[in-house]
């Protein structure tokens, strides 16, 4: 019992009938039935309770209170004449003796109806997020997030990991996304940076003798928003293990995640350990993406050899990929819409043909394949009512377009996607290097701190021209669930000699490594253990568990797509005095 209530609004049951109680919460709704009779809905964090007004005095009191005011109600619990089985408190109601206003809502009109806030414009929801969060459907996502974080902490602790917090103010990183910078008042002209991830700190912990580290780590990156990424800040289950291999990391997450997904997920089926391992190149060839959704049973087939010399210019000299979709009865209009959507997302035009219900090949580019129809049917295993989606371009372009086709067709054509489950997989064997799109030169593909498969020897062979650097693979891995990348990780390069040689491949020498990563380089020179880690994204994890398509739905106070907090008015201008203290002059004078 507290000063304001004896029970919560989700607590009372039939057994409480006859008791005098006090509830407190928000006035959700008033439904007047007569001049002196009304049903009042009182809501708090725990649920709702019906209050029945039956006297003129009480009617006058309740009519003077705006909806969403906080009130206390003292009265007697009685059984309802017509119980509501949909509510936990649906067997009872309160007959009030006293109603008091605790916090008055001073507005007659709300920005949106609380229980339908998810239908409101997103800008209004973010501006009045404190009202949006009163909606039980929105609030439940935040409760889910709390429960998942608690379960992750408990599981990691049970596995012998220590939760250690790492600095928020640190040095700017020369790699990765754009930093958020913080001016250093005591050091004019210099800046701290908010960490993009605790990467270097957690590796330094391994060199310090800690065996297993984790934290629910805040990370800050000045990136643009998208459906599965929030601008500004995000959280990850950051972990690192000393004297550990790739398989050691896999074993921990394969033990930690499935029970949490099965317990808290929208779907109660999650992959059992061990998760499927798929090499990066195989994933690109088979699924057209390194983030495959294994709930979809479609795959990509290379038909380049069958597509040359057909008299169709878009195929000649290009890599051509096909996605056969059996049991497809989409109309021509629906196929055209599907292809248009693929083109928007992939940036390249897809092509198509189909085997109709009578077994005839028709539509789209079918006439060009007529001379090789038998070969095409055999290569793709085509039966009646099969749609064949086709992508062409440079290898990576064709793969990407095929991946989009596969994903969209799997979701739209019945029978190809088992939606209600969580399918995990590991993407492994990432290339260590790639040719940069902008630079045209060799660059790190995934993570510069990863251990190359083959160690120093493979790097020396590449230096001597015996091995193509693009054929060097690394102990790098991604954890993917239902087509969403949850995490990237790696076995770390803990040997200074191998680290320097790896950076020399991208035109950076030992002095560059020392300058860019001084603490880690020096620490490794004092004897570092082999170590490996990973950092699954908590926000993306909860988004999947909640069945949401936007990550903003599971963040208590998210920014909008332009990295603005419209509720608090951030980012905002500051006083000249503050700029002067920080030795900063703004280039944008009002």
pLDDT in tens, 57-104: 999 999 999 999 999 999 999 999 999 999 999 999 999 999 999 999
Give residue 246's pLDDT: 96
**Does the domain formed by 14-103 have CATH 2.40.50.140?**
yes
CATH fold group of domain 296-412: Gyrase A; domain 2 (3.30.1360)
- In whole angstroms, what is the distance from residue 562 CA to residue 188 CA? 30
Helices (H), 295-364: 304-307, 332-346
pLDDT in tens, 12-35: 999 999 999 999 999 999 999 988
The rounded mean pLDDT for the chain is 94
Residue from 296, 325, 254, 186 nearest 477 by CA: 254
- Residues of the chain with pLDDT > 70, as a percent, come to 98
Give residue 176's pLDDT: 66
Least-confidence region, from 216-220, 403-407, 583-587: 583-587
Give residue 291's pLDDT: 97
* Domains of the chain by residue range: 14-103, 296-412
Give residue 232's pLDDT: 85
- In whole angstroms, what is the distance from residue 474 CA to residue 559 CA? 35
Cα-flanking dihedrals φ and ψ of residue 152, to 5°? Answer: -65, -45
CA angle 463, 468, 474 (to 5 degrees): 90
Does residue 146 surpass a pLDDT of 70? yes
- In whole angstroms, what is the distance from residue 50 CA to residue 45 CA? 15
Does residue 226 surpass a pLDDT of 80? no
Do 296-412 and 14-103 have the same topology in CATH? no
Give residue 516's pLDDT: 85
Predicted TM-score (pTM) of the model is: 0.91
Neighbouring-strand partners of residue 444: 433
Give residue 231's pLDDT: 83
Give residue 108's pLDDT: 92
Give residue 590's pLDDT: 53
pLDDT in tens, 531-565: 999 999 999 999 999 999 999 999 999 999 899 99
CA angle 587, 589, 590 (to 5 degrees): 150
Does residue 445 surpass a pLDDT of 90? no
**Cβ(114)–Cβ(131) under 8 Å?**
yes
Give residue 589's pLDDT: 59
């Amino acid at each position: 019992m507290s000063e304001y209530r004896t029970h919560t609004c989700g607590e009372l049951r039939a057994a409480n009938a006859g008791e005098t109680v006090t509830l407190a919460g928000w006035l959700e709704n008033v439904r007047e039935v007569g001049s002196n009779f009304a049903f009042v809905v009182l809501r708090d964090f725990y649920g709702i309770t019906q209050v029945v007004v039956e006297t003129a005095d009480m009617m006058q009191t309740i009519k003077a209170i705006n909806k969403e005011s906080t009130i206390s109600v003292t009265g007697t619990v009685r059984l309802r004449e017509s119980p509501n089985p949909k509510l936990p408190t649906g067997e009872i109601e309160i007959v009030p003796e006293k109603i008091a206003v605790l916090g008055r809502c001073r507005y007659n009109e709300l920005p949106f109806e609380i229980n339908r806030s998810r239908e409101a414009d997103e800008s209004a929801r973010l501006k009045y997020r404190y009202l949006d969060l009163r909606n039980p459907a929105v609030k439940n996502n935040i409760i889910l997030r709390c429960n998942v974080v608690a379960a992750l902490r408990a599981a990691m602790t049970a596995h012998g990991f220590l939760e250690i917090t790492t600095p928020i103010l640190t040095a700017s990183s020369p790699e990765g996304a754009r930093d958020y910078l913080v001016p250093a008042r005591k050091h004019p002209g210099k800046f701290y940076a908010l960490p993009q991830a605790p990467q270097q700190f957690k590796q330094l912990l391994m060199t310090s003798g800690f065996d297993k580290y984790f934290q629910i780590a805040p990370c800050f990156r000045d990136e643009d928003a998208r459906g599965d990424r929030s601008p500004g800040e995000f959280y990850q289950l950051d972990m690192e293990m000393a004297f550990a291999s790739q398989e050691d990391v896999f074993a921990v997450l394969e033990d930690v995640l499935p029970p949490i997904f099965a317990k808290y997920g929208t779907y109660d089926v999650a992959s059992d350990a061990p998760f499927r391992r798929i090499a990066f190149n195989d994933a690109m060839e088979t699924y057209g993406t390194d983030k495959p959704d294994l709930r979809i049973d479609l795959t990509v087939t290379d038909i380049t050899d069958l597509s040359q010399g057909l008299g169709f210019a878009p195929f000649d000299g290009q890599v051509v990929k096909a996605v056969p979709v059996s049991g497809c009865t989409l109309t021509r209009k629906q196929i055209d819409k599907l292809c248009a959507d693929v083109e928007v997302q992939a940036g390249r035009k897809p092509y198509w043909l189909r085997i109709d219900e009578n077994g005839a090949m028709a539509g789209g580019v079918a006439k060009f394949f007529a001379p090789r129809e038998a070969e095409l049917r055999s290569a793709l295993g085509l039966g009646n009512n099969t749609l064949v989606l086709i992508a062409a371009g440079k290898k990576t372009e064709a793969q990407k377009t095929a991946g989009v086709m596969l994903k969209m067709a799997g979701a739209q054509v019945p029978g190809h996607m088992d939606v209600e489950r969580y399918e995990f997989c590991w993407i492994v064997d990432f290339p260590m290097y790639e040719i940069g799109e902008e630079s045209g030169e060799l660059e790190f593909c995934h993570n510069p701190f990863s251990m190359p498969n083959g160690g120093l020897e493979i790097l020396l062979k590449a230096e001597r021209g015996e091995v193509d650097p693009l054929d060097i693979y690394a102990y790098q891995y991604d954890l993917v669930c239902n087509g969403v990348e949850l995490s990237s990780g790696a076995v770390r390069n803990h040997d200074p000699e191998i680290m320097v040689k790896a950076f020399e491949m991208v035109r950076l020498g030992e002095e560059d490594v020392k300058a860019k990563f001084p603490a880690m380089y020096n620490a490794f020179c004092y004897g570092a253990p082999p170590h490996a880690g990973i950092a699954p994204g908590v926000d993306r994890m909860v988004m999947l568990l909640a069945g949401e398509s936007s990550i903003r739905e599971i963040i208590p106070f998210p920014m909008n797509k332009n990295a603005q907090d419209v509720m608090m008015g951030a980012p905002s201008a500051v006083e000249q005095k503050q700029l002067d203290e920080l030795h900063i002059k703004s280039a944008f004078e009002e």
